[in-house]
Amino acid sequence: MTEPADQLPDDLASAHAMILAERAARRDAEAVAARAQAVNSHSDALIARLRLEIEKLKRDIHGSRSERKARLLEQMELQLEELEADASQDELAAEIAARSSSVRAFERKRPSKKPFPEHLPRERVVITPPTNCPCCGSAKLAKLGEDITETLEVIPRQWKVIQTVREKFSCRECEKITQPPAPFHVTPRGFAGPNLLAMILFEKFGQHQPLNRQSERYAREGIDLSLSTLADQVGACAASLKPLHALIEAHVLAADRLHGDDTTVPIQAKGKTDTGRIWTYVRDDRPFGGTSPPAALYYASRDRRQEHPERHLKSFTGILQADAYGGYNPLFKADRDPGPLTQALCWAHSRRKFFVLADIATNAKRGKNAAEISPVALEAVKRIDVLFDIERDINGLSADERLARRQQDSRPLIDELQDWLSCERAKLSRSSPVTEPIDYMLKRWDGFISFLHDGRICLTNNAAERALRSFALGRKSWLFAGSDRGADRAAFMATLIMSAKLNDIDPQAWLADVLARIADTPITRLEGLLPWNWMSSSPNAAAA
């Protein structure tokens, strides 16, 4: 039996009407589906954004309690990026589908837009007003006001050639020819201006874009700058900036306390790459209320032998805050010339060893393969976290105030922790995995509790780890250093760029101004070009 809905009309007009009705119904169904998809995408993006804001607020209020918190936030931001793109794409698709249907279009509720910065130039484009009233046709129109819609736009990078003309003159009396001197170039027989050179340097050493990729991008813009040409400019700039690097080096090594750390960097060898090292020493007195500007110093080496930190710190006398790497041990010997350094170990390293054995969240994801949670490790993490809570409260106070608070609040906790670790260690067998982090702390206890005797010492070595983060990210892009001198040059430029960042200075703008002025600056006034002095001395600082 045939259903009424399946019966086709006999006349052509009714068939056309039925086809049009079917098409309209299909368009409405597609619009409803597109709207539903847009609503779902918007909800997913909104949930992800709120979760990210909650995690950031937790970090701001309580501090980062997890070793993986920073990585988790980066993953959440990446996820939000994709969900927001999906939501915008689905919203537009729903709007297009709604145009040819009776379904109402979906409009997302977006966060309120921030006003554009006041320092950006405004280009006023006035739409031609009507000359007659569209209602009655009268030409008697009076302006009542105006509505302004602002659109953010970018002008593509512009290249230009600056022609410096040096006119020649001949004396009518003595017939001697005079001419102004040639303009200064940073590089010998150079052709590149300081802004171009600063961009090349910052792209290579700050944004981790190798010169071959830069050369390809410039070629697409119509500028032929070969790899060898760019490399020639980089080497010449490094030579010109050497006096400034020496001042930063002297400033860092004159500190009372340094953060030290190192990370791996592949260095090219014959038919392979060697696992080289980038060493960093960071001066940052801000946690204990110091007024000296922060700065970072980098060195490179092909191996990790102890002779390298000995050479780097041969003139340094003070506190070295670092991990328990054995290569630092000669620096703490009593017979060291000019004197032994004070060892300050990192509590974040010791906590990390316990945290691995007490990570409930990670083990829950492993299911059947989950390792057994160590109650001793979990208790150790809780006790150490209390010390971190105290440190957050005293961050930025003077050294004396920090020391007084530590003696009052942290000292009893440290004594209890030592007794508890010793007691638990006596109960454990050698094969227990938690014995390793306990022994790691107890055998180096004097280095861990040095912060109780000096308010300048921090509880962690995070300042050095943050300074090395750029190399950990960059080596994924440039893969390896081409030679020992290439690694040294990367460390050289990282010293300049990171020191500028630590002082809240735009590294590229600073490099451009320094390259333009360093040749005309006397050696006695060279300190005025240092990042922490640059804002007050540079005429181009305000524009940057």
Quote the percentage of the chain above a pLDDT of 70. 86
Give the DSSP letter of residue 277: E
pLDDT at position 355 is 85
Comparing 207 with 360, the larger pLDDT belongs to 207
71, exposed or middle or buried, with CB in 10 Å at 0-12, 13-18, 19+?
A: exposed
Estimate to the nearest angstrom the gap between the alpha carbon of 285 and the chain centroid: 21
pLDDT of 137: 82
**How far is the C-alpha of 382 from the C-alpha of 351, rounded, in Å?**
10
Q: Quick one: pLDDT band at residue 544, thresholds 50, 70, 90?
A: very low
For 436: left if phi > 0, alpha if psi spans -120 to 50, otherwise beta; the answer is: alpha
Which residues face 177 on adjacent strands?
170
Query: Could you tell me the pLDDT band of residue 386, with boundaries at 50, 70 and 90?
Result: very high
Alpha carbon distances (Å) from 471 to 298, 464, 465: 11, 12, 10
Phi, psi of 51 (to 5 degrees): -65, -40
pTM for the structure as a whole: 0.76
Cβ proximity of 347 and 384 under 8 Å:
yes
Q: Each residue of 6-39: b (16+ CB within 10 Å) or e?
A: eeeeeeeeeeeeeeeeeeeeebbebbeebbebbb
pLDDT digits (tens, 9 = 90+) for 18-72: 888 888 888 888 887 877 887 777 777 777 777 777 777 766 665 554 445 666 6
The rounded distance, in Å, linking the Cα atoms of 320 and 341 is 6
3-state secondary structure of 263: strand
- Residue 361: other Cβ atoms inside 10 A: 9
Helix (H) or strand (E) holding 283: strand 272-283
- The 10s digit of each residue's pLDDT in 297-339 is 999 998 899 999 999 999 999 999 999 898 899 999 988 888 8
pLDDT in tens, 266-299: 887 777 778 889 999 999 999 998 889 999 999 9
CA angle 340–343–244, rounded 5-degree value? 75
* Cα–Cα distance, 322 to 346 (Å, whole number): 6
